[in-house]
Each structure stands twice: as structure tokens, then as C-alpha cells.
Amino acid sequence: MIEMEGKEVETDKFVECIHQGLDDIRLTQRAIERLVKVAGHEKYKFYENEFSADLLEKVSVCEGAIEAVLKEHTHNKSSRGEAIENVSFIFILFFLFTKVFQGWRLLMDRQPQKYTEPVLRSSFAHIVKRVHRNILLKTGIRIDGRRSDEFRPIECRVNLYRKLHGSALFQRGQSQVLSTVTFDSPQAAFHPDAIAQLLGAQRKKSFMLHYEFPQFATNEIDGPGTSSNRREIGHGLLAEKALRSVVPDDFPYTIRLACQVLESNGSTSMASVCAGSMALFDAGVPLLANHVAGLAVGLVTDKNEENKSYVNLTNENENDSSLKNKFPDKYLLLTDLAGFEDFSGDMDFKIAGTSQGFTAMQMDLKICGIPLKVFREALKKGKSGIEHVLSLMRSEISEPRSELKNSVPIIEILQLPIYKRPILFRSSAYNAKLIESETGVKISSEDDANIQLFAPNQESLDKAKIMIEKLIEEQQDEQYQFGAFYKVLICYIIKTNKIILKAQIVRILEGGIHVTLKEDGRPIWIRNSDLSSAPGRKNAHALGFEVGQKISIQYFGRDQHTGQHRITRKTLQMLDPPIQNLFSAAERQTQNEKSLNERTSQENNV
């Protein structure tokens, strides 16, 4: 098995990585072999789908009818399935009830538990696989009339629904996938929990692909599914890995790509990759590569039914003819694997990539390994197949949409200094929530200097911006000169309660004071530690402050982290007495000049 994810890995580089991995694996194998020699036990032999020779001989009478159905190339998936089911029904009916086969009935009487209807159906499926494999290896023609390297008819369509942010339909034979793109705000990105992050999960996931396989895709009506099964989750993760590496990290929106299988006949996960790539182009996402396409490569071998193992998986002794269990000389690689071929074949190798390299792979094997020669051939077929699919996708849409659709939400970044953030986000972001309730615009913090507006349309965005500007104007803060001294008025003294973990409050401490630097100005907080430099006198009441009293302070600008004003009285306390007297004289002179100007103004008015 192979599971791969990469950023457009070239073929030669990937093969080199496989060689290196096999060399390292061989070291582990040798260590295990040495351990087996010391403490090994005989392995339990498990035979899967083991049928008796007598039963297979009886079932083989159906080979002619099965071969006739499989060679009828006009069949589609449904009609072929019905024809094979009819042959199976007739075979089981004759086997169980017809008196002509008395010898069979005696065989059933001797071993009744082995020849139940499920056993007969399993043996019939085994014969169907064997007949199909023989047809492929002898003629090289597949059940739908294709050659081994030929694709099913492919149809691509984009922009199926104009209201959607992006949409595309990809159909390959009877496999059809509809992909739709939805944009949301960056805050809608998936954030894993702390435990998942510690285990290596990415911290934020802005691109999500959801794969849905409804029951009607395979003509079933068992009832609606309640949740995604493991098949849907696995196929969705594979398709997401194929596209994730080409989605730009700086794209402003969170992207949800929904891929719904409308009809299934093999390789729907790779069809989801193709449909998803076109849907992203239709939505205007500038992928780092032109397009991503995917396909499945299959394998049919002339394997020995008695011994299915193959031991030589490394690059050493690859051509050694003395190997007991050699890989079969006769095999056939199939491009664009269909559902029935996956059922009968030995390998399902899903390959996704761009014109530059591979982005994701997944290989499932029903045999115990393949040599590097076959693996390189499969990669070559996958690469040429990807180029073929890419050419068809480019003919439908060759580049991303230059402008997003009108239905796409609008994201705009506004500059807002950190000291103005409380206007929107204080009191549990009351004003931001008020704007969102009235306009539908979500406001979030982008960084220390910017906020982000996420609006459903331009009209709502303009309305929200007007409301924000009005709030800022109403609560405009004063600007002061750095290092300047001011005479301020004490507004009120605040007391802070500190509770020790007991049943009641044991002491109350005074936290500081609020002052204003200008008339009708906003109050500014001064902590007790900034009121006085004298040791032991860190309390507003102990210093003799009263509400309404004027004191001198020095202004030191805004805090770089919080944006709050920084003012202190300690610098004045630390000055020499002559300098303090100088400031006091300057303050008295300023006050006298102010009084003189007021009297002059009053006299002029008289």
C-alpha cells in the first residue's frame, strides 16, 4: 500500500524516494528475519474464499454464459449487473432444486453446511472474476470495449448555478460528481483542540473538502444515512490532500468544497479532485497550479491461484529467476479503472497531480506486492492520463475567474489603533455585536493595528463603516504632548477589593485614582504606584488626595501594547525642590495670565 501527499512532486524524484524507502525497509526486514530464527513460530495459515475443487467444477458450467455477458460491450453498469444476476439466479436455482443434478444433491447431503446460498454466491463471484481476468489478459479489450490505455468519455461543465460562489460538474463514463464552493469568513476556519495540536494536527484549516456518497448514486434506497461512513471520510481526505497543496495560504476566505457523487462507476474520489479543481477556478480561487486532475490505474495479473504471495518487493535481485514466488510475467495495466474492473483486478492505484508533478496518491493491492518495474509503468500511465484529463478541463475553464461573483461576501480591512479598540470590543464587544445585528457585518480583530469587516454585500459594508466612524467620533480621545507636565483634576477615587480565599472579605485596598487632563475630557487611570515615590505611602487617601483636587502629573504617551495613556506623578516627586518650585511658579504664572485674560474679556464685553 502507498499513501502519498506532496507539492507537485516530479516522477523521477518520487521514484527515487521509493527506492530509498525500500532500502530502509529491507534493513528492518533483515532484523525481523533474524528474530524469527531465534524466537519464531509457525504461522497460522488462512485461506480466504477457499472453495473445493468439486464445487468450482460444477460452477464452471456458467463460464460460457458469463463470458457472453462480459463480451457484450453495449451493456452499461446497470444492464450488465442485471444480466450477471440473472445467470447467478438460474445457476443457484438449478443447483438447489433441480432433480437432474442428483449427484450434487448427494454432495450437499454429505456436507450441508458448506453449500448454502451465500457459499454458492461467493463461488459464482469467484468464477465471474476469473472469466473477466481471462478476457482481459487474452484480448486486452475491456468489458465496455475500451483498450487498456483508453479513457471513458469525459464531460466537464462549470458555473451550473449562478448564485453559488463556484460550481462544476465532472462526468467520466457513469461516474458523475457535482462540486460546489462556499466562501466564509476567516473565523470559520477549523481549529483543532489542544490535544490534536500536540499530536501534530495543523493549527488552522482554512480549506475543507467534504465528500458525500448518497445511496442513490448506486441505485439504492435503503434510507437516508445519519452520518458519514469511513469510506466517505477516507475518499474525502484523499481528494482534499490532492487539492490542499495548490490552494494559496493567503487567500482571504475560508473555503468549503462540497463534492457530491450523483452516479458511481469507479474512481469517484479522483472525479471529485477534477470537479473540485474546476469549481475552485469558477469561484475565482487563484490556485498555485493551473489545474489538478486525478485518475485510477488498475492491474490484472495471471496469478497462481494456489500461491498468491510475492516476496521480492525491493530493488535487489529484481530479475532473479530463482525466486520461488515470482511476479507473473503476464499482466495488464488499466488506465481509468471502472467499478467492475476494480472488483476483478489486483490493484487500485489512485493518482492525482498537476502538469508539474503529483500531489496525492493511494495504492491498494489485493496481492502481496508488485516489482518496481510495474510500479514505474503505472506511474507513467498515470502521468500521461493526468495530462489527458487536464487538457479537457482546460478546454472548459483555463484560468480562475478574474472577479468574484456578486454573491460572494466582502472582506475589508480597516485601520483602528489599539487604544480605540475598546470603542467596539469593550463590555463583551457590545458595540460590535450591535453593528452586526443591524447590518449583518461581522467585526473581528485582524491584528494590533487593523480590524476585519465581513459583509454579505457592499450596502451592508458601507452602513457598518458609517456606524463605526460615528462611534469613533463620539468617543474621540484627546492627544497630549509627550513629556509635558499638566495640572489635572481628580474625578474620583477607585477602591479595588481583593478577596483572599476564605468565607469573607478580610481587607480592602485602594487601587488608584481617575483624573482628567482637560475640561470635559475622558478620565485617565493612575495607579497608586505612580502617585508617589515616597516609600510606604502608596495609598490615595494616605497621600491626602480628595475628589476635585488638582495635582501636577507628567504625560508619557500611550502604552505600546494596550494603547492606554501613561501618566505619573512620581517624576515630580523625584525632582529637586528648586525645580519643583520652578514648576509651581510657572503654574501660578499661567493661572494669573488666565485670570487676567478672563477679566479683560469681561471688561471688553461690558
| Percentage of the chain lying above the pLDDT 70 cut | 76
CB within 8 A of 377, min separation 6: which ones? Answer: 333
Which residues does residue 602 pair with via DSSP β-bridges, in sequence order?
A: none
Query: Pick from 428, 451, 474: which residue ends a domain?
Result: 474
Q: Indicate if the pLDDT at residue 320 is higher than 50.
A: no
- Cα dihedral 305, 308, 312, 315 sign: positive
Question: What is the rounded CA–CA span in Å between residue 258 and residue 544?
Answer: 69
Chain centroid offset of residue 387 CA: 26
Question: What is the rounded CA–CA span in Å between residue 286 and residue 231?
Answer: 30
Q: Are residues 162 and 300 in the same domain?
A: yes
Give the pLDDT of residue 568.
Answer: 78
**CA 559, 564, 566, 568: dihedral to nearest 10 degrees?**
-140
- Count Cβ atoms below 10 Å from residue 500 Cβ, excluding itself: 8
Q: Which band of pLDDT confidence, cut at 50, 70 and 90, is reported for residue 282? A: very high
Q: Are residues 13 and 157 in the same domain?
A: yes
Q: Indicate if the pLDDT at residue 274 is higher than 50.
A: yes
Q: Are residues 340 and 429 in the same domain?
A: no
CB within 8 A of 6, min separation 6: which ones? Answer: 14, 245, 357, 358, 359, 360
* pLDDT digit string, tens, across residues 519-546: 666 777 777 777 777 666 566 666 667 7
Q: Are residues 79 and 188 in the same domain?
A: no
Give the pLDDT of residue 384.
Answer: 95
Q: How far is CA 537 from each of CA 492, 528, 529, 547, 552, rounded to the nearest angstrom? A: 19, 9, 9, 18, 17
Task: Sort 310 into a burial class: Cβ within 10 Å, 0-12 / 13-18 / 19+.
Answer: buried
Give the pLDDT of residue 535.
Answer: 66
Which residues does residue 332 pair with via DSSP β-bridges, in sequence order?
A: 300
**Residue 211 and residue 271 in contact, taking contact as beta carbons nearer than 8 Å:** no
| Percentage of the chain lying above the pLDDT 90 cut | 44
Give the pLDDT of residue 554.
Answer: 75
Give the DSSP H/E element, type plus range, for residue 107: helix 102-110
Q: Are residues 391 and 455 in the same domain?
A: no
Q: Are residues 212 and 266 in the same domain?
A: yes
Domain assignment present for 321: no
Report how many domains make up the chain. 4
Question: Checking DSSP bridges between strand 254-263 and strand 207-212, what pairing results, if any?
Answer: parallel
DSSP string, 281-336: HHHT---SSS--EEEEEEEEE--BTTB------SSTTTT-TT-SSPPPS-EEEEES
Query: Pick from 474, 496, 516: which residue ends a domain?
Result: 474
Q: Indicate if the pLDDT at residue 497 is higher than 80.
A: no
Give the pLDDT of residue 471.
Answer: 87
Give the pLDDT of residue 272.
Answer: 96
Domain encompassing residue 84: 47-139
More confident residue, 564 or 6: 6
Domain assignment present for 41: no
Query: Pick from 139, 173, 204: which residue ends a domain?
Result: 139
What is the average pLDDT across 558-584?
Answer: 64
Question: What is the rounded CA–CA span in Å between residue 517 and residue 461?
Answer: 36
Q: Which band of pLDDT confidence, cut at 50, 70 and 90, is reported for residue 361? A: very high
Q: Indicate if the pLDDT at residue 265 is higher than 50.
A: yes
Which residues does residue 348 pair with via DSSP β-bridges, in sequence order?
A: 298, 364
Q: Are residues 130 and 156 in the same domain?
A: no
Domain assignment present for 342: yes
Q: What is the length of the chain?
A: 606
What is the average pLDDT across 380-401?
Answer: 95
Question: What is the rounded CA–CA span in Å between residue 570 and residue 204?
Answer: 47
What is the average pLDDT across 113-141?
Answer: 85
Residue 79's domain is classified under what CATH number? 1.10.10.400
- Phi, then psi, of 587 in degrees rounded to 5: -65, -40
Give the pLDDT of residue 479.
Answer: 62
Domain assignment present for 26: no
What is the average pLDDT across 382-402?
Answer: 94
Q: Which band of pLDDT confidence, cut at 50, 70 and 90, is reported for residue 513? A: confident
Domain assignment present for 322: no
Q: Which band of pLDDT confidence, cut at 50, 70 and 90, is reported for residue 95? A: confident
Q: Indicate if the pLDDT at residue 585 is higher than 60.
A: no
Q: Indicate if the pLDDT at residue 107 is higher than 70.
A: no
Q: How many helices (H) and strands (E) does the chain have?
A: 15, 18
More confident residue, 103 or 143: 143
Q: Are residues 386 and 423 in the same domain?
A: no
Domain assignment present for 25: no
What is the average pLDDT across 145-163?
Answer: 94
More confident residue, 48 or 404: 404
Q: Which band of pLDDT confidence, cut at 50, 70 and 90, is reported for residue 129? A: very high
More confident residue, 491 or 335: 335
Q: Are residues 235 and 369 in the same domain?
A: yes
Give the pLDDT of residue 344.
Answer: 92
Q: Are residues 51 and 104 in the same domain?
A: yes
**Residue 18 and residue 315 in contact, taking contact as beta carbons nearer than 8 Å:** no
Average pLDDT over the chain reads: 80
| Strand stretches in 129-279, DSSP E | 154-158, 166-172, 175-184, 207-212, 254-263
Give the pLDDT of residue 553.
Answer: 75
Q: Are residues 281 and 346 in the same domain?
A: yes
Residue-wise over 246-263: b if at least 16 C-beta within 10 A, else e? bbeeebebbbbbbbbbeb
Give the pLDDT of residue 236.
Answer: 94
What is the average pLDDT across 154-179?
Answer: 95
Question: What is the rounded CA–CA span in Å between residue 458 and residue 470?
Answer: 19
Q: Are residues 458 and 573 in the same domain?
A: no
Domain assignment present for 271: yes
Domain assignment present for 589: yes
* Sheet containing 410-415, strands listed edge to edge, beginning at the edge strand earlier in sequence: 410-415, 450-455, 442-445
Q: Indicate if the pLDDT at residue 473 is higher than 70.
A: yes
Residue 444's domain is classified under what CATH number? 3.30.1370.10
Which one, of 259, 233, 241, lies nearest residue 169 by Cα? 259
